[in-house]
Amino acid sequence: MSGKAQSADDIIAELAKSPVDDSMKVDKKICSGGKSYPVHLSFDDGPSPTITPRVLDILKKANIKATFFISTESLVKGKPKDINARKELIERMKREGHTIGSHSYAHIEHANSTTTSQQSMMENLKKSFVEMDKLNLPKPLPFRFPYGSGWNVESVPANQKMANFAMNAIKGAGYYPFHWDIDTKDWSKIKRKALPVSALEQICSSKGGVMLMHDVHKWTADNLPVLIESVRQSGHTFVSEPEIRDYSENRASKPLVSLADHLGGPQGCVYVGHLDRAGSKCNTGNNRNTGNTEGVQ
């Protein structure tokens, strides 16, 4: 490519005008000063009986340890053969050295007082705790709030009260919040077309961190090898969940936003979780009504 390199936003705007094959191509971006950073892969919404096995195969071949945030409702609802397959996949995750966390029970907004009562929110969390306990995992465990609702800063006092309540509830049950720094938008047919550039930009701006993907989309499994190669060609290293926490606590210039409590930017920012992006330009309304929530997170 000649001339000035395109930004992720430029790529999105261009591709949105003329849809093309959205398969990813290997690219690389060197951060300012040639710096490289640790990256931890994480996956939400699974396990999927068809997609998660492919993701695990790719990670095994690439020697990468990831975190899988389990939608625990899927462990009790659905066809018996699918429920058994999901539980077997969790056992495989354990054997292969991945970290397993909770993505709650139903995929609700835990800090939305207009759609969820505090009582129903707590019932949802308790159901998740019960199913996670059946997996015999050592605590503490990571917990990722669906949509980031419960972790994000809320502009509505009633919502922030619910967020505080939810945060205290998960901590009391032996969990710690685990957000993301690098959002691949792999669920968005438009925004994922900016990959891998969009992810590489975020790695540089956040100085490494936790990358969010979803192990329920065929596109994600199809393109994961290319993303991995792009990150590595850009000089970065994939690390495990304990390693990214150690980096944040002991080696980073400042702690990663993803591993802090309630430090996310207001909902609707371009890159949710980046403090330097939080400002008046961000939409602080309901997650499901913001411009950048086109699918499931």
φ, ψ of residue 235 to 5 degrees: the values are 95, 5
In order of 107, 110, 115, 117, 163, the CA distances from 158 in angstroms are 20, 12, 12, 11, 9
Tell me: pLDDT of 274 over 70. no
* DSSP type of residue 74: G
- pTM across the whole model: 0.83
Residues 6+ apart with CB under 8 A from 162: 110, 111, 112, 113, 116, 118, 121, 150, 154
Give the separation between CA 186 and CA 295, rounded to whole angstroms: 9
Tell me: pLDDT of 245 over 60. yes
Of 71-80, 117-126, 151-160, the range with the lowest mean pLDDT is 151-160
| Residue ranges of domains in the chain, CATH in brackets | 8-13+22-289 (3.20.20.370)
Average pLDDT, the chain: 84
> How many other CB atoms are there within 10 angstroms of residue 206's CB atom?
25
Q: What is the pLDDT of residues 6-61, one digit of tens each?
A: 666 665 555 555 444 568 899 999 999 999 999 999 999 999 999 999 999 999 99
Tell me the angle at which helices 157-172 and 118-133 cross, rounded to the nearest 10 degrees: 20
**Pairwise pLDDT comparison (180 vs 273), residue with the higher score:** 180
Give the angle subtended at the CA of 206 by the CAs of 44 and 225, to the nearest 5°. 50
In order of 27, 63, 100, 121, 236, the CA distances from 35 in angstroms are 17, 23, 30, 42, 9
Q: Are 103 and 73 within 8 A, CB to CB? A: no
**H-helix or E-strand spanning residue 90:** helix 80-95
Q: Are 227 and 196 within 8 A, CB to CB? A: yes
Q: Helices in 96-217 by DSSP H: which ranges?
A: 118-133, 157-172, 197-206
Q: What is the pLDDT of residues 133-186, one digit of tens each?
A: 999 999 999 999 999 888 888 889 999 999 999 999 999 999 999 999 999 999
Helix (H, G, I), strand (E, B) or coil at 247: helix
Give the separation between CA 75 and CA 272, rounded to whole angstroms: 29
